[in-house]
Chains A and B, each alone.
Chain A
Amino acid sequence: AQKITQTQPGMFVQEKEAVTLDCTYDTSDQSYGLFWYKQPSSGEMIFLIYQGSYDEQNATEGRYSLNFQKARKSANLVISASQLGDSAMYFCAMREGRYTGNQFYFGTGTSLTVIP
């Protein structure tokens, strides 16, 4: 079974609107971390936001927020007030277990296009 599932291969959003990118995960560990990365066409993976499995509040970083629904095993990324520079691939990732050195599992990504 896939550890991370991103079901939206491509998404479009009007500039200045909000958009939600979906991510579901599969783990039997009680302790894990969830991450979102942005990958522009240049190829570099840019860290956006992190949510720990024991964090009770949804993580926020500027225009990014993570809608964490533990029972549903979902960790959707919400981007508010979209900008043209937000056009990129977005990857959801998970680290299983308590050890922060564990490898990350990535989804297949969602391509976001912001329309002027």
Chain B
Amino acid sequence: DTGVSQNPRHKITKRGQNVTFRCDPISEHNRLYWYRQTLGQGPEFLTYFQNEAQLEKSRLLSDRFSAERPKGSFSTLEIQRTEQGDSAMYLCASNLGETQYFGPGTRLLVL
């Protein structure tokens, strides 16, 4: 499978816990994006990497959120001290040219 992969696919956690998601982009893609999607909405941009450099962060990305892409390949998104409002689908996408290709997402439920 040469598409974008994300792990885990589902995560249930208790409020206040930390969670970490992983994204593996398409291998030759140097750009990687994180989006958040809540029910009934389209994806909202969170942050973007070109290789290992984090070039842009949305205002949606509070200080409880941190993302890394240490070697310019896979990326991790960590949410600290989760809140119920963090419950959403977290989507990762990568591109080299015009089109962003998305992974299957990680669905987070914070109880």
Give the number of residues in A that approach B within 8 Å (Cβ atoms): 24
Contact between chains at A44 and B102 (CB < 8 Å): yes
- Chain B, interface size: which category? 20 to 34
Task: Tell me the interface secondary structure of chain B in the complex.
Answer: strand
**A25 in the interface (beta carbon within 8 A):** no
Q: Please report A residues at the B interface, Cβ cutoff 8 Å.
A: 4, 33, 35, 37, 42-47, 50, 52, 91, 93, 95, 100-101, 103-109
Q: Within the assembled complex, what's the spacing in Å between the Cα atoms of A43 and B50?
A: 25
When the two chains form the complex, which single residue of B33, B41, B42, B99 contacts A103, counting CB atoms closer than 8 Å? B33
**Total number of A-B contacts with CB less than 8 angstroms?**
60
Q: Please report B residues at the A interface, Cβ cutoff 8 Å.
A: 31, 33, 35, 40-45, 48, 50, 55-56, 58, 89, 91, 93, 95, 97-105, 107
* Contact sample, A vs B, 27 pairs, CB 8 Å cutoff: A35-B99, A35-B100, A42-B104, A43-B89, A44-B103, A44-B104, A45-B91, A45-B93, A45-B102, A47-B101, A50-B98, A50-B99, A52-B98, A91-B42, A101-B31, A101-B55, A103-B45, A103-B58, A104-B35, A104-B43, A104-B93, A106-B42, A106-B43, A106-B44, A108-B41, A109-B40, A109-B42
Q: Which residues of B contact A93 (CB under 8 A)?
A: 42
When the two chains form the complex, which single residue of A45, A52, A100, A109 contacts B95, counting CB atoms closer than 8 Å? A100
